[in-house]
Amino acid sequence: MTAEPDARRVDVLSASKVQPDHLRRKGVVYVRQSTLAQVRNNLESQRRQYALTGRLEGLGWPTAAIEVIDEDQGRSGAASENRSGFQRLVSEVALGRVGIVFCLETSRLTRSNEDWQRLLTICEVRNTLLADAEGVYSLRIYNDRMLLGLKGTVSEIELHTILARMSAGAKNKAERGELITSVPVGYVLSETGEIEKSADEEVRSAIARVFEKFRQVGSIYRTALALEEEGLRLPRRTDYFGRRPARWESPSNQAVSMMLRTPFYAGAYAWGRARVQTTVSEAGKIEKHRHRRGDPSVWPTLLREHHPGFITWAEFEENRQRLLANRRGFGHPGPVGRGSSILAGLVRCGPCDAAMVLSYGGRQHEYSHFQCPRRAATFERNPCQTFAGRTLEKRVEDLLLSILEPESFEAVLLAEADVEGERVRQVRQWDLELERAQHAEALARRKYDEVEPGNRLVARTLEERWEKSLRALEATKRSREQRLAHMPPPLNEAERRELRRAIGRIDLLWRSDSTPPQQRKELTRLLVHHVTARIDRRTSRLHADVHWVTGHVSRETITMPRQRGPYARIRDDDRTIIHRMAADYTDAEIAAVLGRAARRTPEDTIWTARRVMRVRKAEGWAKSTDRTERFVSMSTAMKMLRTDRYTLEKRIGRGEVGGSQPYPGAHWRISRADVERVSKQRESRPRKRPSTMRDGGLEFGP
């Protein structure tokens, strides 16, 4: 064992390096411990570091000139970031205000060799001494500089060794499933280290309700919304090991997402789900980012059936795949929305294999329309392909019903059981909430009864708590009664017979108004992986390949209707106006005429150039490209003839100039050839000599 050097002998040997210039500046004692646990428990190390002020006094620094920097307590010395004390020390040394820096060990200042060498360079330039428990060092002495550089390297190696040792120990413990730093809500880590489910029945029921509701609706947002509509609150943990009572909060997307994505609820122990990635920012700063890895195959440690779970591992994998499918883009259909199309997110473009965008039209949004987001190969503004979706959806719907027809008996029985089971689960959850409120009221009442009546200082507080629990109990009872009142009654015998009558006719359930479109979409996604569609405009045929989840492909050829959507229902008068004006007027001018005539579209909206264009293209009415060469407007004709509107209309009425107005309020179309002819005739006529006026023999005039 190496004996600690005699402090008195070291100070005598080091005093020769202290010069009057050093004593004119202040001395700094730097104090640091790496963790808060060391700050709380390793008190002897703190005393040794603070005692270094006496060593500075022995070297000649007065007490008033000694400063202690201890701002970095509980912070690691691996880097200078987030260490304001070390940064302030470096700044003071760089300004030449420090004569000596004293620390117990060099590792107290920093364990980064980069920060250490920068500090040494600044100390050398400013002639600042460095000191530790073994002596005083001058950076302008080669041997001292070499020794300090070696100490900095050793400190960095020690940090690497410590971290490697801790990481290896944590990994070894995690491989046995014993590295438990916290447990999610619903679990308790006992004093013996065993993981158990919470003894609170309401907590267990609420967590199970989250997984049941997700199986029904299929998305995080809709699960949280459904739980909110039911009035259900979710538990949140108040400590890391679940030993304290949970607090109750309204359902949120974050809480539901945590429960669905955590493998702990599937009875599995996972370690290494997140990895730390180090990057360099644009400002040159080194940053560390924590990324969660969702694929269980890349987790370093995964122990299934490690503890009791709320769901099975197979259900966890199914939920994970469902959440991946809910992502929009990247080849995923996205979550089920509120639209009526059963093929939302499932249709791909045949020519380019891009996911087609779905939009709805009509007053009730009853018309679906698919459009490829990419442009045509000729780099035109038109999309790659676009078509109405009603006919395609009808064909896929018939295929689905033909497949599901043999399974209709089991489906009806399951539907009947699910209706009754859903009611029982909701009522059970509300009963547990009421039971918890009653227990809280009884506990507050017992505490009030146990207090001495004369001790009003305590009795008043307990009385207020009892009254608060009574109000909470009454609010819970009223809420339960309101929910039960709004809940549909259980099925009677007539309704049960009607439900069983649907056996063998699943198409009745499919097309029933009581079946929400979300359930049709969910059922479609269970069987259909995607649909590849390609339309042939020449023959108006749609070639669709239905790819089933089993790998089978059904190839269908569908004849598309010529007119689709709400534009097949426009009034005949509007259609006549558009047809008469299409060849000689722009779409914007036609829309303006229809607007001035107070005409509306079938959806009761105003006419726009885009809507006129869709009708014109659907009817196949080509627009003339030489309109500006054959006709001119009224204002242009007036300028060319240098006349007013009244005179020009008279010429049109006499037939001197050709012009027409296809509909009252429309722009005039006047023949350019006639206007140019009349203009040339006016220029070729001789001008009349102006008349003179006589008055008293005098002539006035040119």
The residues annotated with a catalytic role in the active site are 34
Residue 131 token pair: 């000191």
Contact 235, 267 (CB under 8 A): no
Give the relative orientation of helices 313-325 and 253-261 as an angle to the nearest 10 degrees. Answer: 130
Judging by beta carbons within 10 Å of its beta carbon (0-12, 13-18, 19+), is residue 501 exposed, middle or buried? Answer: exposed
Residue 26 β-bridge partners: 98
SS3 429: helix
Return all residues near 518 (Cβ < 8 A) that are at least 6 apart: 217, 336, 338
Distances 674 to 551, 603, 629, 671 between C-alpha atoms, Å: 70, 42, 12, 5
Reported in sequence order, the residue ranges of 254-401 that DSSP labels E, i.e. its strands, are 269-271, 274-280, 286-292, 301-303, 328-329, 332-333, 347-349, 357-361, 367-371, 386-388
Pairing of strands 357-361, 367-371: antiparallel
Q: Which amino acid is at 182?
A: S
Residue 245 token pair: 């009572």
Closest among 76, 108, 314, 80 to 215, alpha carbons compared? 314
Residue 699 β-bridge partners: 694
- Cα–Cα dist 179/194, whole Å: 12
Residue 286 β-bridge partners: 280
Pairing of strands 286-292, 274-280: antiparallel
Residue 63 token pair: 């007490």
Closest among 425, 431, 438 to 227, alpha carbons compared? 425
Return all residues near 611 (Cβ < 8 A) that are at least 6 apart: 567, 591, 601, 605
Chain centroid to Cα 537, Å, comes to: 39
Q: Which amino acid is at 551?
A: G
Closest among 432, 477, 469, 471 to 447, alpha carbons compared? 469
User: Could you tell me the end-to-end alpha-carbon distance of the chain, in angstroms, rounded to an integer?
Assistant: 133
**φ/ψ (deg, to 5) at 307:** -155, 170
Closest among 644, 634, 646 to 675, alpha carbons compared? 634
**φ/ψ (deg, to 5) at 519:** -70, -35
Contact 19, 101 (CB under 8 A): no
Q: Which amino acid is at 142?
A: Y
Residue 344 token pair: 């939302």
Rg (CA), the chain: 43
**φ/ψ (deg, to 5) at 95:** -80, -5
Contact 82, 56 (CB under 8 A): no
